[in-house]
Structure 1
């Protein structure tokens, strides 16, 4: 889809971290297409409002809300779709397509009341049945949605879908999907029944993966619906007008959006660039007014200027080991590789101070049970310190060598050459080169495999790697959103870690109605992940970018999203 906290200066240098988000609008009838645009400029005023051009990444892997799991796609998707609830500029959950909702006394039934007169971007009516279809489409195993488990595992009836065998017939699959407890008593009422209380379900309801999609469009066009502006029908503030692969995606104001009067832009052009030098050059020449990707060597000179922006995001940069491939199925090997990493050196030197060293898996900015509390701070209190002492690298390296010997590879003897997979954006390659040298200290040779962003995420998700760069930016403020990534059935569990004891902990945390118990169990689960070296945390992230001082009315969320629909330009 992703990622949403007070982390450090820059994992947004990551062209795109995994996460989550959803997607896009569409142009409908001729009457609603709007005026044709002329030459591309960073910003210009027309009778319809502002014409804005920005860069937030290359061609997205997908703009299907159910299938997206990357931040660049999510950034585009949130402009063209709207969920039942949404986030405001202060990151509060506020009404979206639903003007209100109520929760039953037992916490098991959420009833959402839709706004009057909701429309799709093609002008047709949007009703509660569209949400029923969209939730069930997400749940259908044939959709292969990476977020299905995260978004629906608490919904009554999803367990029957989860328990379908590989030999389940189409009839059995459809029957299980139809049993998902979502319903539309009338055109304006959407009801979700939970199997157990979920103390953060309102936040889940604001996540873009749960955007409604139009049944007749998808059934008529299949997978192609999300790449053609004529069929990319959404319900958000904007809608897609044009997509030129490798060049740009153009969104225009959606006149059918329920709050269209507040939308200030006429068009937003997402200029598609993966090369940071190209995007920064486009910014300097005025082709775009905002660039997410800038060359790392430019950061020192940009710091302190009015164009340069730094904002916290809730996210962790980490390494995935493929536990289904030897020798990474050996916990001592994984721990040795993790301990051999000088996290402080990566943060201060490799990334020029733009990252902060990861000392746990869940980083700063994520709340705990008490109002105003920090999950990370409670972790320190519970454990008497951080899991990783970043000032203890030399001792950790010696322990890593000892562990490798205990695993049967003294001084790396007999250890196969490993392959580390990453994409070449911002600091990913320098970090890979550092890891190559760090693991050489153990006697291990590493080949670096650079993969284009368009294929990187699916390659990793399919398990076609040995060790891979990974990262997650939160979709909502709850530690479960990070910790649950390593659950056996999670579609984003790229390394295929599987521990029944861990699964039981997170399931209990998910289903308890006791908020204190929820967080207590998640602390236990995080400790288990780190003790098992289910992955190797490397750094905590921040977003940084360049933006014209004239561009106003935009905002950046701690989930790593930019909002451009209310932008203005001050001369």
Structure 2
């Protein structure tokens, strides 16, 4: 047996706000406590008289998580809530990069063939009713996620290599996860799956009649399948994602109030099992009594909230907002703030497999897709919308990663080159109305496409307008189509769009590309929105996933990048630097490139607060 010790460590440059000496408070950022992985803000040495001493963190964000079902959630905001209300076997270590144990005592013991991973759960870990968390709950969790009737297509691809989980015959807190093949994310993937209570979610123990192996190719017409159908119907019920009365997790916080579109209020649980831990774990801490997530979309409103000290933290400010706030000496007195590179990527998905009816056969041609990429003024958008605080990616892999293909070149804005490609693809302006057209399946089709984007924030609207304006000289009409985030995500999974603006939240860990790039993920309406993929690319992705030797794996990742670069299924835009603020009344603040960028549960009221000693005792 061996212990996993290899973590992927990346060096990142930090971008902190630049102010003149009289504009910048000396405590806004600690130069002594920054390094290439994160920013650690110095605790303020002075308590200001107008600071609130309530042990409540109010965190600003731009949108609701929409749905908080523990297997069927779909976005990063929901994952943030899960990280506070649920527990995972392991987590991505935001500060040190790599994997850290959470509900497990330690990282697993691994067999010599890299197929068997043995874990032991924390002795202290219990459910809210006091019953211990055991291997039974772990096994149930992965059966529930693998069940073909569970509404979690995005998550299923990550579990395709999971063979079985074997409970220890003596220790109910020990188990061994068995994989079908060696897999680059055999441990890392577990950070995406909160552990569920079998007793709460399956009181009749229906899934005990099925093995993990049974869940693949399950005959839903077989004898006894009705029980499984009834269980899944109940398990998929919207109440488990919408009604706080039905939220149940092992984390130190619980959702007490959810005012849709406004706030989510998390309350620290009393006498939670984490208080008995013998060793501190940043990802199981719960220093704030409450953590309130507050939706504020308007930039001016956010600035007013900061100036009135109505919010304590944010990782969702626009660059323009933070730069303007940092010119205010009072803001700098009250807040630590900074910019740091991220692993997030903004992109435009192109529908490569349109139905030909609602969505015309436009982006099924690679020449058209490349032309649209050449008509997207990414450099101008970076300067105008992010004030230069962003990095372009020519690929799906971050340039910060060792897997990045340096041979891929950034595409310029080039109307002439785009026009040539469109003409080669048969798009001409036959009726001289300045919009190209083409006969497709006997029908004259205009080169007009809808561009779906989220309504959160003014910058999105401005950016889409810039893209539409930049494309028009080439005879292309782009029609902006603003949507609520939840509606847009439904459209994306249903392939109901022409162009769609989105963002990926990746990490420094080796990637499993199947979730976004496998053809199976498109067929199952997973996260492959555009329809990229064929048998050859699927085989390459499988080879990447099952190759643990970096000397062999990294060249394959670079080859996949080249294939996707040439196919142009997406327009890769840019990665914005994360914008983070933390009120100085809280100490112990560390901000990171890894999501969510800030460990909110680790914030402590500084010593000047009248209740700091009591709060920090927790």
Counterpart for residue 582 of structure 2: 547
Counterpart for residue 55 of structure 1: 60
Counterpart for residue 213 of structure 1: 196
Query: Aligned equivalents of 1:497 and 1:257: distance in 2?
Result: 46
Query: Aligned equivalents of 1:42 and 1:453: distance in 2?
Result: 35
Q: Per-residue displacement from partner, 1:212-254 (whole Å, max 9, x unpaired)?
A: 1223433567331233333211112322222222332111223
Query: Aligned equivalents of 1:57 and 1:404: distance in 2?
Result: 37
Alignment counterpart, residue 263 of structure 1, candidates 283, 286, 300: 286
Shift of 1:43: 5.4
Residues 154 and 510, structure 1, Cα contact 8 Å, conserved in 2: no
1:284–1:453 distance in 2 versus 1, CA, 3 Å = farther
Counterpart for residue 410 of structure 1: 428
Query: Aligned equivalents of 2:11 and 2:245: distance in 1?
Result: 37
Shift of 1:363: 1.8
Alignment counterpart, residue 348 of structure 1, candidates 369, 383, 395: 383
Q: Per-residue displacement from partner, 1:228-282 (whole Å, max 9, x unpaired)?
A: 3332111123222222223321112233333567531211111233334333332
Please say if 1:489 is aligned against 2:505: no
RMSD of aligned C-alpha atoms? 2.6
Alignment counterpart, residue 423 of structure 1, candidates 454, 470, 486: 454
Residues 253 and 265, structure 1, Cα contact 8 Å, conserved in 2: yes
SS in 1 for 2:248: coil
Alignment counterpart, residue 116 of structure 1, candidates 117, 123, 126: 123
Unaligned runs of at least 5 residues, structure 2:
1-9, 17-49, 203-233, 278-284, 355-360, 430-434, 438-445, 609-618
Shift of 1:437: 1.2
Q: Which structure 2 residues correspond to residues 442-453 of structure 1 after superposition, within 5 A?
A: 442-453=474-485
1:43–1:112 distance in 2 versus 1, CA, 3 Å = farther
Query: Aligned equivalents of 1:361 and 1:96: distance in 2?
Result: 29
1:356–1:476 distance in 2 versus 1, CA, 3 Å = closer
Query: Aligned equivalents of 1:82 and 1:556: distance in 2?
Result: 21
What TM-score does the superposition give when structure 2 sets the normalisation length?
A: 0.74
Residues 123 and 256, structure 1, Cα contact 8 Å, conserved in 2: no
Counterpart for residue 151 of structure 2: 144
Counterpart for residue 85 of structure 1: 90
What TM-score does the superposition give when structure 1 sets the normalisation length?
A: 0.80
Please say if 1:360 is aligned against 2:360: no
Q: Per-residue displacement from partner, 1:497-520 (whole Å, max 9, x unpaired)?
A: 222211110111111243321211
Q: Per-residue displacement from partner, 1:30-71 (whole Å, max 9, x unpaired)?
A: xxxxxxxxxxx99544xxxx2222122322121223222322
Counterpart for residue 36 of structure 1: none
Q: Per-residue displacement from partner, 1:423-459 (whole Å, max 9, x unpaired)?
A: 1234322221111012112111111011112322222
Alignment counterpart, residue 204 of structure 1, candidates 189, 201, 213: 189
SS in 2 for 1:420: strand
Counterpart for residue 530 of structure 1: 565
Residues 323 and 497, structure 1, Cα contact 8 Å, conserved in 2: yes
Query: Aligned equivalents of 1:279 and 1:554: distance in 2?
Result: 21
Q: Which has the larger radius of gyration?
A: 2
Shift of 1:126: 1.5
Counterpart for residue 103 of structure 2: 97
SS in 2 for 1:147: helix
Counterpart for residue 226 of structure 1: 241
Counterpart for residue 375 of structure 1: 403
Please say if 1:510 is aligned against 2:533: no
Shift of 1:540: 1.7
Please say if 1:322 is aligned against 2:329: no
Residues 198 and 512, structure 1, Cα contact 8 Å, conserved in 2: yes
Q: Per-residue displacement from partner, 1:508-563 (whole Å, max 9, x unpaired)?
A: 11112433212111111111011011211011232113332232224334232031
Query: Aligned equivalents of 1:43 and 1:495: distance in 2?
Result: 48
Unaligned runs of at least 5 residues, structure 1:
11-40, 157-180, 367-373
